[in-house]
Amino acid sequence: MADAAHAYLPVHFALRSRVVSPINIPPVVTQLPGGISAQLLEVDDTSQTDPTEPTEWASQASSLAVTAKAYHRVYREGHLLSIVTGLCAALLSEIYTTTSGYCSPDVRKRLKYRSSPLSDFDVVRGSVVVDACDRFAYKRRSDGSYHGARTSISTSDFTRSTSARWSQVHHIVLDTVPVFFVDREFRDASAPLRTEHKRTSALRDSRPHQVALAAVDGLCMEELELVAGFIETVSGRRIPQEEVGAACTVLMEACEILQYVLEHRLWREYPNTPDRYLHTDPGEWDGWEEIPVPKRKKKRNKRDPRPGGTP
């Protein structure tokens, strides 16, 4: 649902105009003001064009495959906090809220991980270590300023060129969706690239509860203020009104999806462990089969000095 939410949210400004700078593999890193380095995409927003094909969007890219991946990375940038907030409220409304009484025979559904039910889920704000070649920055021709992605608030791991993908669920059109899942085993075995700054519970905060209860009949100005307050608590800053509207849009769309999943019991068909894939850069795996396998050196048997030992 998080990946599908981008389809009904405002399109990234860099996708509404043509990219006039080259997009190559390996990417060319540009030193930006403030000591930031990133791959610079120069967007010609002076002309009112809306490219519908990747070849029209970035005509100077080295190949169609390079253009396609860059397009999908930009497509998934932004609105992450609004999407997460809307999904949390939708889960509260459709799964963690019930109208049945204590002794009712109706089934009460809960999320679970492995064999344990989820008693809480949080929204985490933090920072992530990103190489300069995996960070996008944008330059508008209309004002000449730089618009770089900040790592203090995560947008999407796929935008930062993380290649992990998982198999799709029923309501997603694509075969796979970009998801970077970290469990305890992965966290213990990997380098600490993420730094958590703040964690906010969606189940223990009263504001998502009130929004979830009102989602059935529609959201009023009071609920919009609750959504804005929750997002500002997570982000630690004032947010524009369009982000609040985006979160409410995701909430209503996600409620419809969850209602369909629960009504048709689609979760019974979900695998215990979805398949994982890697969305690599074009040509990244070229030549791997030609790398020679290192040979093990055989150790010579040492002479045993004991009586009757090996001569």
HEC string for the chain = CCCHHHHHCCCCHHHCCEECCCCCCCCCEEECCCCCEEEEEEEECCCCCCCCCHHHHCCCCCCHHHHHHHHHHHHCCCCHHHHHHHHHHHHHHHCCCCCCCCCCCCCCCCCEECCEECCCCEEEEEEECCCHHHCEEEEECCCCCEEECCCCCCCCCCCCCCCEEEECCCCCCCCEEECCCCCHHHHHHCCCCEEEEEEEECCCCHHHHHHHHHCCCCCCHHHHHHHHHHHHHHHCCCCCHHHHHHHHHHHHHHHHHHHHHHHCCHHHHCCCCCCEEECCCCCCCCCHHHCCCCCCCCCCCCCCCCCCCCC
**What is the pLDDT, as a whole number, of residue 152?**
29
CA-to-CA separations, 148 to 22, 39, 132, 137, in angstroms, rounded: 17, 9, 11, 4
What is the per-residue pLDDT across 225-267, written as a single tens digit (0 to 9) for each?
888 888 888 888 888 888 888 888 888 888 888 888 888 887 7
Q: What is the largest CA-CA distance in the chain?
A: 93
CA nearest to 218, candidates 244, 248, 260, 188: 248
Q: Structural domain of residue 189, as residue ranges?
A: 4-98+112-290
Q: Name the amino acid, one letter, at 162.
A: T
Rounded to whole angstroms, how far apart are CA atoms 22 and 285?
A: 22
CA separation for the pair 144, 161 (Å, rounded):
25
Give 110's contacts (C-beta < 8 A, 6+ positions apart). Answer: 95, 96, 117, 118
Closest among 165, 193, 156 to 280, alpha carbons compared: 165
pLDDT of residue 155: 35
Strand partners, 37: 31
**Residue ranges in the chain modelled with pLDDT below 70:** 47-54, 98-108, 141-188, 190-194, 274-311
What's the whole-model pTM score?
A: 0.57
Q: Is the residue at 104 inside a domain?
A: no
**CA within 13 Å, CB half, 275:** 7
In a domain, 229, yes or no: yes
Q: Are 136 and 38 in contact (CB under 8 A)?
A: yes
In percent, the amount of the chain with pLDDT more than 90 equals 0
Question: Is residue 306 one of the residues assigned to a domain?
Answer: no
160 vs 61: CA distance, rounded Å: 18
Residue 75: inside a domain: yes
* Alpha-carbon gap, residue 12 to 80, rounded angstroms: 13
Domain count, the chain: 1
Smallest Cα–Cα separation from 215: which of 260, 256, 187? 256
Q: CB-based burial of residue 238 (10 Å sphere; 0-12 exposed, 13-18 middle, 19+ buried)? A: exposed
pLDDT of residue 239: 80
| Whole-number pLDDT of residue 153 | 30
